Chain A
Amino acid sequence: MKLYNYELSGNCYKLRLLMSFLGVDYETEAIDFYPGQKHKSPDFRQINPLGQLPAIEDNGLVLRDAQAILVYIASKYDADGTWYPAQDPALLGQVMQWLAFADGITATASAARLHDGLYYSHIDVEAARKGAHTLFRILDEHLFFAEDAGQAWICPSDQPTIADIACFPYIMLSEEGGINRMDYPAIRRWCDRFKRIPGFIVMPGIFPAGPAFEKPAA
């Protein structure tokens, strides 16, 4: 599989994360997203006419859209079927619901980050930040009640799903867009749990979890 990649893209990082969790081998082709704007080039539009990252090529199949690619990779390479629980309609519906929510995070928190860091000056940054806070408040409340019910992840499964992956990067990078996470303690705890999933990798702007609290040996 080939991933058209930009290291600083949270959407590309979603795919790098899932492939690391699953131990899938892949190659990358680095795209000069900034300042080169090569994702808007005629060559890259042959791969994705929308001129957006990420995209993949796998055995002749070309796919775009981070969430769609998460579904594809999890369906194809996760033998346990936990990341994309296709066999459980109620759970799957919730996974899809939060994948759509993650698109909202991209449209707000990621937009604010592009505005502040990479000079996407056409973005209304105040509206983007306000929109992100609205979504973070909803997710924080959801996670608070989920924790209360003994649930560690966004969807009611013992295992994390691709919904967790889809929501994680632009929440974790939100401060680069001037969106503080101080007021979202349940989100912060969830981020910390996420960083402890075996196979977790970082990207620029995201650090590993601190040393875990060691439970005394029984």
Chain B
Amino acid sequence: MPCTDSVALNLWYPVTALEDITSKPLHTLLLEEPLIIRHDGTSQVHTRGRTLPVRESYGYLWTSLGTSQEDLFPIPEYTEDDRRNVHAATIGVQTSAPRSIENFLDMGHFPYVHTNILGAEPHTEVKEYTVEVSTECDEIRATNCLFWQPMAAAASSAGAEVNYIYRVPHPYCAVLYKSSPANPDRLDVIAIFLQPETQERVRAHMMLCLLDETTSNREIRLFQQTIFGQDKPILENQFPKRLPLDPRAETPIRADKSAIAYRRWLSEKGITYGVIPSAA
């Protein structure tokens, strides 16, 4: 069934990493619509005889099926001179885009799913943090998040209390900022951009924007893939696969504050794709 969610249709979506584009046409799926990506000097995206708008941002080709796209959210760090921008991978996952976002926002699972990397027992507490919908722009921000991590990044040499900031600037994209092992005063950036193929299947594009002069792209990429490979079975075993927006559907704990805000924000936007909307 094609997507009828007008909010979702008008969003920008990543459909491939720019570095994966060759002269050979690429076939992919977006909101159940088959896309063909062609490159001939410039990149074009076609679906069922239509030519879709495109833009190149953050190392990916983005497109939209709708008619009135807003600007894509900013990631100012991407253009900083001393940053390393790395496309980690595009991985297929059998789950909805909102379930993937919630997993990306969750710190509680670090010691259990990313054992001895992003967390370790007994350091399991998710300390009180702040969540708000930003007043300057329509996005969720979780700030003042602290978590003890044995190996926060590929460049880490020891465990550290790591500071996190999370942004959700798009219903299916999230950006996190965390203390940079190489530069304690600044933050590394990791983004997940989801391309919903269907309501219950996504392509997850992962981008890192790091302050790290020593680790190779290969090591950065493989570190991130290890983390995501650990999340994958957890994501694929969450049922229902679509995210229930009714506040009574799943029981949150205090650590899930950002998830509660995300679900409420999706409800207020009127998103219906990849979710189970609240009964009116």
Contact = CB atoms under 8 A, between A and B. Distances in A.
Query: Do the two shown chains form a genuine complex with each other?
Result: yes
Given A35-B87, A119-B90, 15 more contacts: A7-B225, A7-B226, A30-B222, A35-B20, A35-B90, A36-B218, A38-B218, A116-B94, A118-B92, A119-B203, A121-B27, A175-B233, A176-B233, A204-B232, A205-B233
B230 interface: yes
5 contacts: A6-B222, A7-B226, A8-B226, A116-B92, A175-B233
B17 interface: yes
Nearest to A31: B218
Interface residues of A, number: 22
Interface string A180-218: 000000000000000000000001111100000000000
For the complex of A and B, the 6 pairs showing the least CB-CB separation, nearest first, are A204-B229, A32-B218, A204-B230, A7-B226, A117-B92, A8-B229
Given A119-B90, A205-B230, A32 B222 contact: yes
B232 A176 contact: yes
Contacts of A35: 17, 19-20, 87, 89-90
Contacts of A34: 89, 225
Nearest to A5: B222
B236 interface: yes
B194 to A, nearest CB: 15
Interface of A: 6-8, 30, 32, 34-36, 38, 116-119, 121, 175-176, 178, 203-207
Contacts of B232: 117, 176, 204-205
B75 interface: no
Contacts of B236: 175-176
Interface residues of B, number: 26
Interface of B: 17, 19-20, 27, 87, 89-94, 203, 218-219, 221-222, 225-230, 232-233, 236-237
Nearest to B227: A204
> Is the contact region of chain B dominated by helix, strand, or loop, or is it mixed?
helix
Contact of A207 (B92, B93, B233): B233
A119 B218 CA distance: 20
B221 A205 contact: no
Nearest to B217: A32
Interface centre among B17, B92, B221 (most CB of A within 10 A): B92
Nearest to B237: A175
B36 to A, nearest CB: 13
B218 A118 contact: no
Nearest to A34: B89
A6 B230 CA distance: 14
B87 to A, nearest CB: 7
A121 B29 CA distance: 13
A118 B91 CA distance: 6
Contacts of B219: 30
A118 B93 CA distance: 9
A178 B91 CA distance: 14
Contacts of B89: 34-35, 118
B221 A32 contact: yes
A116 B203 CA distance: 10
Contacts of A117: 91-93, 232
